[in-house]
Structure 1
Amino acid sequence: MTPSEIILWPGTKVCERLGVDPESDAGLIRWMFNTLFYLLVSLIVLWIVVL
C-alpha cells in the first residue's frame, strides 16, 4: 500500500460499504468521508490533549 492509499482508506471503506464507487465523482464523495473521519479523530485527540 502506498501512503496515499493508507490516508484514503477510511473514505474508501465507507464508500464500499454504501455501495458507491470511491473513484466516481472525481473522488469527492471519498474525500468528504475522509474529511469527516479525520476531523472527528483530530477533535478527539485535541480534547484529550487539552484536558
Structure 2
Amino acid sequence: MAMVDLILWPGTKICQMLGIDPEKDMGLIRSMFNMLVYATVILFAMWAFMW
C-alpha cells in the first residue's frame, strides 16, 4: 500500500460505505471526507494536548 493510499484511506472507506465511487469527479468527494476526518482528529488532538 502506497503512502498516498494510506492517507486517502478514510475518505475511500466512507465513499464505499455510502455507495459512491471514490474515483468519480477526480476524487473531490473523497477529499472532502478526508478533510472532515483529519480536521476532526487534529482539532481533538489539539484540544486534548492543550489541557
TM-score range, shorter chain: over 0.9
| Unaligned residue ranges in structure 2 (runs of 5+) | none
TM-score under structure 2 length normalisation: 0.98
TM-score under structure 1 length normalisation: 0.98
Identity %: 53
Name the count of aligned residue pairs.
51
Instruction: Map 1:13-24; keep pairs closer than 5 Å.
Output: 13-24=13-24
Distance 1:38 1:15 in 2: 15
Distance 2:26 2:3 in 1: 19
Give the match for residue 27 of structure 1: 27
1:8 maps to 2:8:
yes
CA drift at 1:5? 0.2
The two structures, once aligned, show a CA RMSD in angstroms of 0.3
CA drift at 1:44? 0.5
| Unaligned residue ranges in structure 1 (runs of 5+) | none
**Which segments of structure 1 move beyond 2 Å, counting only runs of 4 or more?**
none
